[in-house]
A and B are shown apart, each in its own frame.
Chain A
Amino acid sequence: MNLTAHAPILAIAVPLLGAFALPLWAKLHRSLRGGWLVLVAGATAALTALVAVQVYTVGVQVYTLGAAWPRDTLTPGGFPIRIVLTVDALSAFMGLITALVAMVGFAYAWRYLAEDEGKTLALTLGTLLWAGMLGMAFTGDLFNLFVFLEVTSIAACGLVGYRTWASRGPEAAFKTMVMYTVGGLFVLLAVALLYGEYGALNLAYLARQITGSLIDRIALALLLGGLLMKAGAVPLHMWAPDAYGEAPAQAVILLVANTQISLYALFRVLFTLYGGVADPGVGWLVVALGTLTLLVAALMAVVQLDLGRLVAFGAVSQIGYMLLGVGVGLTAVAARPAYGLVAIQGGIFHMLNDAVAIGLLFLAVGAVEKASGHRNLAHLGGLGHDLRWTTGFFLLGALALAGIPPLNGFASKLMIYQSSFLLSPILSALAILASILLLAVFVKAFQGAFLGPRLTAAEPVPVPMLVAMGVLALGVLALGLFPELVVRHLVAPAADALWTGRDLYLQAVLGR
């Protein structure tokens, strides 16, 4: 068995097997559950890294399920009918983000989740969500995109609402589930429309056939709507603050990664599937939605009194920056001016930075809630006396998110500001305005919760939680101090996959 050739499917199958087997080990003994989780998570992360190394050094990886050999994508008639996984640099990059987030989340969950409050269930659903996200990132056909989208929906809503003894969790989960399901059905309807027109489901094959007819445009609108619902872009964002506010902290960072994977699916559709019939109008629509998202979410964050919801609106706002960056690239993809590539690089780099910085913030909020029992800013004050490390981590995350140099948010936001300025100065002005608003909001929240006289008693935060936050804090610093290195080696190939890599993607599957 050739491990490198099979790595794409193993990266999905191993966490799936892990999720199904986890409750069985837990029934035998608790320590078996922990060992199994470490084994599965380590193996999945290693496999994801292996896939990424292959993709970055060799090129697009293709895997055909159930065929005579892994690269056997086509029938003798030259038609792809099997389930095909196609991993290009952007997919691999998203896989790495999910691996980072999941590993940090599991390390944090070790001491964060209480044993009698459904810890096994939360770990199982987390592993399942990870498998679904990797599936969405690696799949090469539209219907499996829908299937994995629904896997992530069910796992994510389970994570939001599994604490059925509290009333707020299930309410947030129901809201989220309605949005996710309707979004998923929009995607399914689009898949059905495209299947009815072209008789195929393979992304690469469809991309070569697509003509831009009226049905294609309707399908694009449905895909855009469905995936933006899952990504939590304004005006379809109302589930996001509820879900982020009510889910346990280690699940929230997985939910954030899940919104980014939905954005990845959207970019895949816009650039690869519809790349041949690209329309600058769609790019402008994405830019408009991105600007709206970053502004509205930042304004909503101002009025929040709950620390969790405040950070949640910050998270929604970051989705807007990614949409803005990649949307600017989409308006320019036909003429290919240099700023288009910079914009896409900025948008994609911001995904990594957002996962690290917002993840750090959510974990810090979870630590505050666990240590003090409160999350409402009216009850919090002077936590800095007791929770020194957590205070530092929160400040670091907040400054990074607001785009203060030399932290990582600045590096990617600068690329987005510069490139969107060349498209229209108003866009970058609005983006900078939203950043300033976020900075004000976070400074106010930080001052209220962590500084001043000691209002709230706080217990010490367990060491594994601090270690998990420390890893992300190191990420914030490293990505901020050496952005050139990361952009050149990790982000640039991923951006090229959208910018010029469409033909390589199609050739890898269709062979010509």
Chain B
Amino acid sequence: MSVVVKTIARILLPVILVFGGYVILHGHLTPGGGFQGGAVAASAVALLLVAFGPGSVKKLKAPFSILEDLGGVAFVLLGFLGIGTTFFFNLLAGSGGLFGAAAPIGPNPGVLNTGGTVPLMNWAVGFKVLGGLGAVMVLFGLFGGDDDR
């Protein structure tokens, strides 16, 4: 790709990643969440692929699949967190700790530190989607090259 595309890609890459992180982080307050944020962040991989060619993302394949597995494990483990009551029970909501503030009643702009396990699950899903989509895109980019066995 031309130098214009490459330069703009370099500028946009951190912006896309930060926006993906924002969507994941605010998943329990605004439309969006783990899947959407992860998909946004994974579009950065598509940008890399288009601007710099498959060679630039080849090294990312193994980290992405590890990230995907870790996201899945983290999600199920967060479900196990509430097993003292029931599976998926929201143990952290309202507990005062991480994401444990009580949600205020009535119209308000939203408090980030609420939601209990939900924001954590959003992060787990976000990493899983980023890893999964990223690995798929890298593989599609590498198709036609060497054997993918």
Is A42 positioned at the interface, with any CB of B under 8 Å from its CB? no
- Across the interface, do B76 and A66 meet the contact criterion of CB distance under 8 Å? no
Which of B72, B76, B88, B148 meets A164, CB within 8 Å?
B148
* Cβ–Cβ < 8 Å partners of A13 in chain B: 76, 79-80, 87
B interface residues, tally (CB under 8 Å): 23
**Which chain B residues in 55-109 approach chain A with CB under 8 Å?**
65-66, 69-70, 72-73, 75-77, 79-80, 82-90
With the chains together, A10 CA to B88 CA distance in Å? 11
**Which chain A residues in 1-26 approach chain B with CB under 8 Å?**
1, 6, 9-10, 13, 16-17, 19-21, 23-24
- Across the interface, do B66 and A27 meet the contact criterion of CB distance under 8 Å? yes
State the Cβ distance, A224 to closest chain B Cβ, in Å: 31
State the Cβ distance, B19 to closest chain A Cβ, in Å: 27
* Cβ–Cβ < 8 Å partners of A20 in chain B: 69, 72-73, 75-76
Is A118 positioned at the interface, with any CB of B under 8 Å from its CB? yes
Is A285 positioned at the interface, with any CB of B under 8 Å from its CB? no
Query: Nearest chain-A residue to B84 (Cβ)?
Result: A1
Query: Nearest chain-A residue to B85 (Cβ)?
Result: A68
Is A67 positioned at the interface, with any CB of B under 8 Å from its CB? yes
* Cβ–Cβ < 8 Å partners of B89 in chain A: 66-68
* Cβ–Cβ < 8 Å partners of B75 in chain A: 20
- Across the interface, do B87 and A164 meet the contact criterion of CB distance under 8 Å? no
* Cβ–Cβ < 8 Å partners of A1 in chain B: 83-84
* Cβ–Cβ < 8 Å partners of B79 in chain A: 13
Tell whether A66 pairs with B90 under 8 Å between CB atoms, given A17-B73, A164-B149: yes
With the chains together, A116 CA to B89 CA distance in Å? 41
Tell whether A67 pairs with B86 under 8 Å between CB atoms, given A13-B76, A16-B76, A20-B72: yes
- Across the interface, do A65 and B88 meet the contact criterion of CB distance under 8 Å? yes
Query: Nearest chain-B residue to A64 (Cβ)?
Result: B86
- Across the interface, do B73 and A21 meet the contact criterion of CB distance under 8 Å? yes
- Across the interface, do A70 and B86 meet the contact criterion of CB distance under 8 Å? yes
Tell whether A17 pairs with B77 under 8 Å between CB atoms, given A23-B69, A24-B69: yes
Most buried by B among A17, A72, A83, A117: A17
* Cβ–Cβ < 8 Å partners of B70 in chain A: 24
**Which chain A residues in 299-355 approach chain B with CB under 8 Å?**
none
- Across the interface, do A23 and B147 meet the contact criterion of CB distance under 8 Å? no
**Which chain A residues in 72-129 approach chain B with CB under 8 Å?**
72, 83, 116-118
With the chains together, A118 CA to B148 CA distance in Å? 11
State the Cβ distance, B144 to closest chain A Cβ, in Å: 13
- Across the interface, do B84 and A165 meet the contact criterion of CB distance under 8 Å? no
* Cβ–Cβ < 8 Å partners of B69 in chain A: 20-21, 23-24
With the chains together, A278 CA to B87 CA distance in Å? 35
- Across the interface, do A6 and B149 meet the contact criterion of CB distance under 8 Å? no
For B36-63 the 0/1 string (1 means CB < 8 A from A) is: 0000000000000000000000000000
Which of A10, A27, A66, A165 meets B147, CB within 8 Å?
A165
State the Cβ distance, B70 to closest chain A Cβ, in Å: 7
- Across the interface, do A24 and B73 meet the contact criterion of CB distance under 8 Å? yes
* Cβ–Cβ < 8 Å partners of B80 in chain A: 13, 17
With the chains together, A210 CA to B70 CA distance in Å? 43
* Cβ–Cβ < 8 Å partners of A21 in chain B: 69, 73
* Cβ–Cβ < 8 Å partners of A24 in chain B: 66, 69-70, 73
* Cβ–Cβ < 8 Å partners of A66 in chain B: 82, 86-90
* Cβ–Cβ < 8 Å partners of B76 in chain A: 13, 16-17, 20
State the Cβ distance, B66 to closest chain A Cβ, in Å: 7
Query: Nearest chain-A residue to B143 (Cβ)?
Result: A164
State the Cβ distance, A243 to closest chain B Cβ, in Å: 21
- Across the interface, do B85 and A69 meet the contact criterion of CB distance under 8 Å? yes
Query: Nearest chain-A residue to B147 (Cβ)?
Result: A165
State the Cβ distance, A240 to closest chain B Cβ, in Å: 27
Is A63 positioned at the interface, with any CB of B under 8 Å from its CB? yes
With the chains together, A37 CA to B65 CA distance in Å? 19
With the chains together, A24 CA to B73 CA distance in Å? 10
Query: Nearest chain-A residue to B82 (Cβ)?
Result: A66
State the Cβ distance, A269 to closest chain B Cβ, in Å: 25
Query: Nearest chain-B residue to A26 (Cβ)?
Result: B69
- Across the interface, do B77 and A6 meet the contact criterion of CB distance under 8 Å? no
Query: Nearest chain-B residue to A5 (Cβ)?
Result: B86
* Cβ–Cβ < 8 Å partners of A67 in chain B: 85-86, 89
Query: Nearest chain-A residue to B76 (Cβ)?
Result: A17
Query: Nearest chain-B residue to A8 (Cβ)?
Result: B87
- Across the interface, do A65 and B87 meet the contact criterion of CB distance under 8 Å? yes
* Cβ–Cβ < 8 Å partners of A165 in chain B: 147, 149
For A11-50 the 0/1 string (1 means CB < 8 A from B) is: 0010011011101100100000000000000000000000
* Cβ–Cβ < 8 Å partners of B77 in chain A: 17
With the chains together, A9 CA to B86 CA distance in Å? 9
**Which chain A residues in 333-385 approach chain B with CB under 8 Å?**
none
- Across the interface, do B72 and A65 meet the contact criterion of CB distance under 8 Å? no
Most buried by B among A6, A16, A63, A66: A66
State the Cβ distance, A130 to closest chain B Cβ, in Å: 15
Which of A27, A69, A117 meets B86, CB within 8 Å?
A69
* Cβ–Cβ < 8 Å partners of A72 in chain B: 86
- Across the interface, do B73 and A63 meet the contact criterion of CB distance under 8 Å? no
State the Cβ distance, B30 to closest chain A Cβ, in Å: 22
Closest 9 CB pairs of A and B: A20-B72, A66-B88, A17-B76, A9-B87, A65-B88, A20-B73, A24-B69, A21-B73, A23-B69
12 more contacts with CB within 8 A, not counting A17-B80, A70-B86, are A6-B83, A6-B87, A9-B87, A16-B72, A16-B76, A23-B65, A24-B69, A66-B86, A66-B88, A66-B89, A67-B86, A165-B147
Q: Can you name 12 A-B residue pairings with CB atoms under 8 Å?
A: A13-B79, A13-B80, A13-B87, A17-B77, A21-B73, A24-B66, A27-B66, A63-B86, A63-B87, A65-B87, A69-B85, A165-B147
